[in-house]
Amino acid sequence: MTDAALKSGTTPGTLSDHREGMAYLETLPRKLVTVYMPLAIILFVLLFPFYWMVITSIKPDSQLLDLDNSNPLWVSQPTFQHIYKLLFDSAYPRWLLTTMTVATAATFLSIFASVLSAYAITRIRYKGAATVGGLIFLAYLVPPSILFIPLSAVIHAYGLFDTPFALILTYPTILIPFCTWLLMGYFKTIPYELEECALMDGASRWQILVKIVLPLAIPGLISAFIFAFTLCWNEFIYALTFISSDHNKTVPVAIISNFVDGDIFRWGSLMAGALIGSLPLVILYAFFVEHYVSAMTGAVKE
């Protein structure tokens, strides 16, 4: 009998029985029910919209309109005419560039402001910090459909209507509360002892933020950047309200206004625009998925 068995009060026979009982959990039928089938269902639900966009964007018009004689889930004669018309017969490249510029600028502006506010609320101990954090969270809950009415008056007053700056300056109104709330939770996981040691060594608050807090908070910053960039990329209400000219529109608004003629939907071009417009976000998630996952576990492990 081993020392471990003596200390635990078990015999080798009971240990082998225990292992055999746990081995039942690793059998193929149980894995099939508890692991593989749920994963298959989740993958199907997540990937089916992309599959539908792909087959719709390469279907000829005859198969898109005649559902009785064609399989809606398959394409027999693929064509790239919808993608060609989208890229070369419309201003889609300009829409894509405008969307990228607006989303990037608004996201960086929001992250910069959110870092300063989140650090001040969580790391600088002052009276009312918890109240300020709660008010920021409440501001995040305000629907954008309520804010665009007063913001439109501000945009007109400053002469920014129908320019990308109208979106760059208004998107932070919905991004800063969210990013601040997200970074507040992440900054709280960084030990206060690191800042106290730096203060004792004569470091300023700005040096602590730049040289200590931000390097430890890179996964959290990437996570906030991904969320903010995605919200900017897919935003519809502000882009529809503040932009009127066709060449300044963003992708979500432009493909709806240019490929829908009354009650006629050009599904091939619509799906091609949605598919190509989602590729930058897919690439962004693919590159930073490890940092995004690590942000869920905190900055420093005790």
Residue 152 within a domain:
yes
How confident is the model over 257-263, as a mean pLDDT? 79
How confident is the model over 237-242, as a mean pLDDT? 89
Residue 82 within a domain:
no
Q: Give residue 275's pLDDT.
A: 87
Most confident by average pLDDT, 16-30, 52-66, 184-198, 239-253: 239-253
Q: Give residue 105's pLDDT.
A: 95
Q: Same domain, yes or no, for 94 and 50?
A: no
As given in the structure block, the two tokens for residue 218 are 């890179």
Residue 78 within a domain:
no
How far apart are the two ends of the chain, measured CA to CA in Å? Answer: 37
Q: Same domain, yes or no, for 126 and 170?
A: yes
Residue 201 within a domain:
yes
Number of domains the chain contains: 2
Domain range for 180 is 90-297
Q: pLDDT tens for residues 203-231?
A: 888 888 888 888 888 888 888 898 899 99
Q: Same domain, yes or no, for 94 and 40?
A: no
pLDDT > 50? residue 82: yes
Q: Same domain, yes or no, for 48 and 94?
A: no
Q: Give residue 101's pLDDT.
A: 94
Give percent above pLDDT 90 in the chain.
Answer: 16
Q: Same domain, yes or no, for 192 and 282?
A: yes
Confidence class for position 293, pLDDT limits 50, 70, 90:
low
Q: 35, 57, 79: which is the final residue of a domain?
A: 57
Q: Same domain, yes or no, for 146 and 36?
A: no
Residue 261 within a domain:
yes
CATH number, residue 178: 1.10.3720.10
How confident is the model over 250-261, as a mean pLDDT? 86
How confident is the model over 116-125, as a mean pLDDT? 85
Burial zone of 114 (CB within 10 Å; 0-12 exposed, 13-18 middle, 19+ buried): buried
Question: Which pairing describes strands 260-261 and 264-265: parallel, antiparallel, or unpaired?
Answer: antiparallel
Q: Same domain, yes or no, for 106 and 162?
A: yes
Q: Same domain, yes or no, for 219 and 127?
A: yes
**Tokens 């082998």 found at:** 16
Confidence class for position 112, pLDDT limits 50, 70, 90:
very high
Burial zone of 9 (CB within 10 Å; 0-12 exposed, 13-18 middle, 19+ buried): exposed
pLDDT > 90? residue 107: yes
Q: Same domain, yes or no, for 162 and 260?
A: yes
Residue 203 within a domain:
yes
264 phi, psi to nearest 5 deg: -105, 120
Residue 72 within a domain:
no
Among the ranges given (14-18, 144-148, 159-163, 275-279), the one the predictor scored with the smallest mean pLDDT: 14-18
